[in-house]
Structure 1
């Protein structure tokens, strides 16, 4: 019931479609084609353009519909009219990216073609970070996000008297062709009151994500280059050194006291440590004088 081959000749202008469709990773992508003039359509076929061949994705006619086994888990029809057709690609991945053909096969005029390209976009959750600076009225705000294609990153603040300055942006290309963009700026005007900062990220013609953070008071860095954590660590080292010094002194006193006691015991009982021969000679000399 399905036509095997479709004529490559056709008038593309009579098929209305979107030139480019954006599809987010993990979400659905909708591809549509509309034949603008009434024709005697026998069959509608969707194909994916590969390097050397156009591979059939799905086909339908008045007898039914068929999805190629390679696409049956991800592609389904949404509209199956002979003048109007659309398919849905579910759980989009980077492998779905590329250009697709919709062909309205007529007799005897042949096929009327439309071409639409799916561009896959990827947008992860942004990471917002706030830390203090050398001034109590300033904070350093940074937002980082990984996406494809290159995302735009926008920093926001709720209170009007606060403002961002000294913007800087760093872009890193990852091995999987995604980009990690980090935008940093100085938030000025803080006077001890709390506020909310935000980060909005998006890709061209794609989705947008936002994160927010409430900040009350960000402790400034110390002017001598050491923050409070470093100072606390230094105090720990000082206390540990004092304890070790006291332990060494106590050990020395104990050792000295033990040595004195041993010396005194040797002086009080010298006979215990004298040689027996010396004792015998001493007694012999004593008997001679007697």
Structure 2
């Protein structure tokens, strides 16, 4: 013969539970988890049911009325959290002795779950950055953490007077500014819940502002307009104060400040200074600075059109051609002067008595006034000519570039004649003079 009982029965506070047992002579014993055994109900075939003193007296009874050894099940009314424990059904047999069956009564209490972050300051020591609680649950809840932050959770529990358990888990880590805003979730699992309950949070790490000035491209030149510097700052709490200043003193007149932006309307020497952006929050003050270097040559470079390398040869040829044209004009002027001198030499050779004038193809004798004027011109030209006899110059255009050369005294007559002959031939046939020698 064996005692038939249920292995486990679940109940909430305030309910009624039935603990079934099947045999003849039966004794029910209550054994709490932390305590001693006590008889709570006894049934005998020859006697009336008996309910000894126990924590359950007045709330425990046999199910059947009148009780029957065929089904000596009991019931407990107004179940309390302290009723949790083992209930043992014991029967006596002959000649084998006592037999028993054990039923575990598990009391359930749905906990109150919650989670929160703890605002901390960035530092070098581990601190609690988040807390998760499961209060007044039965059995104790299980708490875990999900996050990318580098830390770990610690678990503590406390049993209440009603046998419920409150579980608290704290997440500890060394907080850094980079951890601010990171995701962290507390996950609570409990027997009364269909699925674990999750609480998503974000870490709150306070730190002084981090400041960076952007926008300077190292190309501030005189005359450039509308260049902007932006003061970027992060911090917790969020920075609310932004102050621009210069290391040289007052802000230049061409600078316009709006919040975290500094705008230079027109670059000049006044902005050739160091700009400082200062940001403040409750944790402290931080700053960044940029030294502007104003370049004067950049403005000239911007205004002067650049020469395409492919056109460099054309430009060089134009310059050389201009120089050659100037030299050619100078040579022609020299030719005219030479002709005038030769004519004057002819006048001196013939004498004033031989001077004649051709007008309209008819030769006429010069007048006395003409002879006097000619003598005065001859005297002036002779003085100039004597000064130049020591050294003669001529320009040679053969082969392209002009060459200035010196000739010794005494050869000018033949060379001048050669030049005039060549020049006359060139004019008659219309050809281009390929070789030109000019003597001065």
TM-score after normalising by structure 1: 0.43
Bigger CA radius of gyration: 2
Q: Which has the higher contact order (CA 8 A, sep 6+)?
A: 1
TM-score, structure 2 as length reference: 0.31
